[in-house]
Structure 1
Amino acid sequence: MIDYLVIGLGLAGISFCEQLEENNKRFLVVNDGSQTSSLVAGGLYNPVILKRFTLAWNADVQLDTAMRFYNRLESKMGVRLDAKIRIYRKFASIEEQNLWFEAADKPRLSKFLSTRIIENENESIDAPYGLGEVLHTGKIDTKTLVGTYKFLLEKRGKLLAKSFDFDALIVEKEYVKYKSIKARKIVFATGFGLKSNPFFNYLPLQGNKGELMTIKAPRLKERSIIKSGVFIIPLGEDLYRVGATYERTDKSNTPTTTAKNELLHKLHTFLKCDYEIADHVAGIRPTVADRRPLVGLHPKHRNLIV
């Protein structure tokens, strides 16, 4: 019998597996790759909600924890995941500059917002009112993270690359049985897939579709992330990720023309150089109305966890 059967291998699943490793627990992962939000995520870590100049929930604590976690993973896997990169918020007016300075004076925000207005020097970016710099920001290479972690688990015989079949799950008081596997507990880390989970579909998970484009813009020559109506994230080799959209009704992973047009419209408000669209992807964010994580035990079956 193993200690844990883990369903899902996105960022949440990987984080939990690492906790199991640190505590010498025996586990097995079942994952079919159907939930794509971790793979298509922009990967930014940014403690400030730039639309309202407010601090994200528990951001200072979460940021410290996340950095230690990703640094350990880099050492363990021998890959680079964390790229320190500046995030600049484009100001649309003098009023926005003033709001930025007001926010930067607040005790919890002061260490995350620079009080210096950055003069735009990129001819391909329209930013006549300058830019504000968010401090302690960067980008996690989520595609490399998920791909490398999956490879390591496969190599150790800890990954079943198959869809999970709820009809094959038997829940007993002291353990669960899935086909030929017995485990003391089962943990679901399936992102928006939780909506189709018969044990946890009562939870207030909403789901929010996000779409991103990758563009090739040789004249842009930008090394920092620019935030205006959308983010522009440099990827190297003249490639930039542009995103993202927010759609509450469509729950498919299929890119849409509507979202593409929305991204292009917002991009054109501040990008002045030519570009080509290289890619367009979509994924479903596992969102909740209060933006708090869904974590805990099933009220009846205490060996079922989300």
Structure 2
Amino acid sequence: MAQNVLLTGGSGFIGKHLTDVLLEAGFTVSVLSRSAKESSPAITYYKWDLNKNYIDENAVLNADYIIHLAGEGIVEKRWTNKRKKAILESRVKPIDLILSVLEKNNKKLEAFVSASAVGIYGAVTSHKICTENTPPADDFLGTTCQKWESAVDKIGALEIRTVKIRTGIVFGKNEGFLKKLTPSFKSGFGAILGTGKQYLPWIHIDDLCGIYLKAVEDPELEGPYNACITDNTTNSRFSKTFAKLFDYSIWLPKIPPFILKIVLGEMSKAVLTGQRVSSEKIQKTGFEFQFTDLEKTLINCLK
């Protein structure tokens, strides 16, 4: 029988793409959903409700692998205290809920693979190259990611192989990050944010899904892995390259940091800062990125 992969966040941008990749690789897929959905031969839907601490235990008991993608969007709303709490809990509570089922039933998984983020290294801009051994920052992003990964470690304590995918900005066709920016750039109103010197570690959705697939299939993978291209792309370089694809050069002045801070509040740190991140560790496992050139990648995403 084909092995089953259970996804949290399976209906999101990454989850939808990853589902296709897993099915093509010969796995069956299960998805935890807040609403009842009709299952198909290849995809089984199970109900869960984090607010009520409810999960259909069969989802976990029938799984060989679990991939945890669920979580509130980081830049969807201003970072009020309530929003910060929601961002953290939406990442940690699902893990604790799954952990309780594993412990209760003495269930062993082949692996538990969780999303994480390069935000663990902090909302700062520097020339330092962050590796998986770089200590977590003590700001909101760093602390959130650290608690997120610490929750994963509880699964690891059950002698289950755990993998943490520290993801950068994900590029996809009319989805995610690019979907938000395309209208303004396409209209000729693209602009550089702040100084433009902040680094923007990125990855194509196909490569990200490839890393998740390898994390499932390769028993040697364990612990954290950075999932982004190490090409020193800055916000300025990205903005100029993206505008070029719409046949114009950036003409608007840079958007001053204080304007973004007024509009976005503390969340402005997520767009005004960025560090260089190394992908050497995942590449040493034999993984090869298919999309490494920024311009060609953006062209692919606009097709």
Please give the TM-score of this superposition, normalised by the length of structure 1: 0.26
Of structures 1 and 2, the one with the larger relative CO (CA 8 A, separation 6+) is 1
Higher helix share: 2
Higher strand share: 1
